[in-house]
Structure 1
Amino acid sequence: MCREPYPGRVTAPVFVLTPETVEPAGAAATAVAGDRLVLTGPEAHHAVAVRRLHPGERVDLVDGAGLRLVCEVTETAADGGRRERLAVRVVERVEEPQAGLQLVLVQALAKGGRDEQAVETATEVGADLVVPWMADRCVSVWRGVKAARGRQRWGAAAREAAKQARRARIPEVAELLTTAELAGWVRRVNDAGGLVLVLHEEATVPIGGVALPDTASSEAIDHPADEPRGGGKGPQDPVTIAVVVGPEGGISAAEVGALEQAGARTVRLGPHVLRTASAGPVALAVLAQRVGLWG
């Protein structure tokens, strides 16, 4: 299984478009080869004022949900007031279906931006969904307005990392879960045939030795962008493989027990103890290789 069905097209810079930042309004939804579009807003500012793109250069415009417009720059315009415009000609329209397998990072909140670093690297590795977790030993706490802002920061980290990785799909950042809510989510994933792995330094089973769900027949599927992801039971839902990463202080015995009772498997990542910022991305990389996503 390969997430990028068009090898050799990962060198052009990627910019994210929305219905509000493309002219004519909403034209990206039906754009085909030969159409001419204009990108506006912050992404156009980055393309024109920061990247300093010129006519004739190639760019990819993506919507974050699988649409990629392979384009050629035809004109740039800047007035110095952050109202830059990037005019392009569409060379090819590519719609990447959602893969039949989704990789999920369940990341405990961490201090010092380590959780955002985990989100960023996991996105570059190939995570499809990120779930924030308020574990017992989290030093960082999201409540009220802080929860909304924290989720926005993680979303921004995923967005920028997806652009860096030239991805057409930007991982969703889910609502913050408590341990009880996470256990319920684990149970739903398990009931749907997925797998949730809890990374723990005292586990005896290595991540490379745990049996994975059968993904051999998990072909890419068309999946509405607004359909719930993770733990679903519908015939079109992708198979979920998730890793759970604890905070700096580790996962408590009570939390491990609750997650295992819900159907999670506790595994050891390797011979060394990794930071909360790196454990999840490393585990996802191992799993991506095992299931053939990097093949």
Structure 2
Amino acid sequence: MSHLYLDESLDLAGASAGDEARLTGDEARHAVTVSRLRPGEQVAIGDARGTLAQCAVVATAPRELVVEVVSVETVPAPSPRITLVQALAKGDRDELAVQAATELGVDAIVPWSASRSVSRWEGAKAEKGRARWASIVREATKQSMRAWMPEVAALTATAGVAALCGGARVLLLEPTAEARITDLRDDGRDLVLVVGPEGGIAPGELERLVAAGAETVRLGSSVLRTSTAGPAAIAVLSAELGRW
């Protein structure tokens, strides 16, 4: 299918061939007025929670798309999960990281206000920034035809990142680390990948996270931008976990 549309309000898990489904609002408007879908065309509809329905368009209106379900596929939630803790970065570098990470299969994203982050989300800007990342994640989920849409958590400080070490294997991308990420082997635990800002993770933060149980790892001999380091590491981890 060339198009995927998401509607979290749909109960696709209980759908079967021949059922009718309706998309409304902005998602339907985009399908009808931008993609110009017409009756008879094929389209995929997802609920962002693991279910994809292949459908045939039955009818259209300016803000409504009516489809008939042809088949339904339920995709299990990935396990172990991969969470990206992405430090805020200047310009659109953190947004580029979020977009690529979603396309490459990350399961959750945590915005991190690192001490060296040039960009700052303060006050109302924190929720506005999180919503912006969530919008990027949604579009990347649709583009990559994913059954599950990654969660975007609220902005966290270093203390919140350290707390993640209690229930997962936390990996800090650090160019000076001795261990290579390609040498890691799956031990069944969920993975949390921590990527610092443009200036890297500050020594004090590095010490705090390692003391909490995090492991430092490097990608290779070169130093990648914060916008590319996370996605590159996710690709490596996906291969190790057998996702690719």
Fold-level similarity (TM above 0.5): yes
In 2: Cα distance, 1:134 partner to 1:196 partner: 17
Match of 2:198 among 214, 234, 248: 248
Contact 2:182/2:236, CA 8 A, preserved across alignment: yes
> 1:147-186, aligned counterparts within 5 Å?
147-186=126-165
In 2: Cα distance, 1:29 partner to 1:169 partner: 13
Aligned letter for 1:17? D
Match of 2:182 among 190, 208, 211: 208
Contact 1:119/1:154, CA 8 A, preserved across alignment: yes
**1:140 is the counterpart of 2:119:** yes
In 2: Cα distance, 1:242 partner to 1:284 partner: 10
Aligned-residue RMSD, C-alpha? 1.4
> 1:76-225, aligned counterparts within 5 Å?
76-78=60-62, 84-189=63-168, 195-214=169-188
Question: TM-score under structure 1 normalisation?
Answer: 0.79
Give how far 1:97 is off. 2.1
In 2: Cα distance, 1:103 partner to 1:96 partner: 16
Q: Which residue of 2 aligns with 1:292?
A: 242
Question: TM-score under structure 2 normalisation?
Answer: 0.95
Give how far 1:269 is off. 0.8
Consecutive aligned runs of 4 or more in structure 1 exceeding 3 Å deviation: 26-30
Q: What residue ranges of structure 2 are gaps of 5+ in the alignment?
A: none
In 2: Cα distance, 1:265 partner to 1:60 partner: 40
**Identical-pair percentage:** 47
Give how far 1:101 is off. 1.4
Indicate the SS of the match to 2:145.
coil
Contact 2:107/2:149, CA 8 A, preserved across alignment: yes
Match of 1:62 among 46, 60, 65: 46
In 2: Cα distance, 1:187 partner to 1:35 partner: 45
In 2: Cα distance, 1:100 partner to 1:291 partner: 9
Q: Which residue of 1 aligns with 2:18?
A: 34
In 1: Cα distance, 2:209 partner to 2:166 partner: 8
In 1: Cα distance, 2:24 partner to 2:184 partner: 48
Indicate the SS of the match to 1:285.
helix
Indicate the SS of the match to 2:182.
coil
Contact 1:27/1:37, CA 8 A, preserved across alignment: no
Q: Which residue of 1 aligns with 2:233?
A: 283
In 2: Cα distance, 1:113 partner to 1:287 partner: 24
Indicate the SS of the match to 1:141.
coil
Match of 2:214 among 264, 273, 292: 264
Contact 2:12/2:46, CA 8 A, preserved across alignment: no
In 2: Cα distance, 1:36 partner to 1:209 partner: 49
Q: Structure 1 stretch 28-37 or stretch 126-135: which is displaced more?
A: 28-37
Give how far 1:29 is off. 5.7
Indicate the SS of the match to 1:150.
helix
Q: Which residue of 1 aligns with 2:5?
A: 15
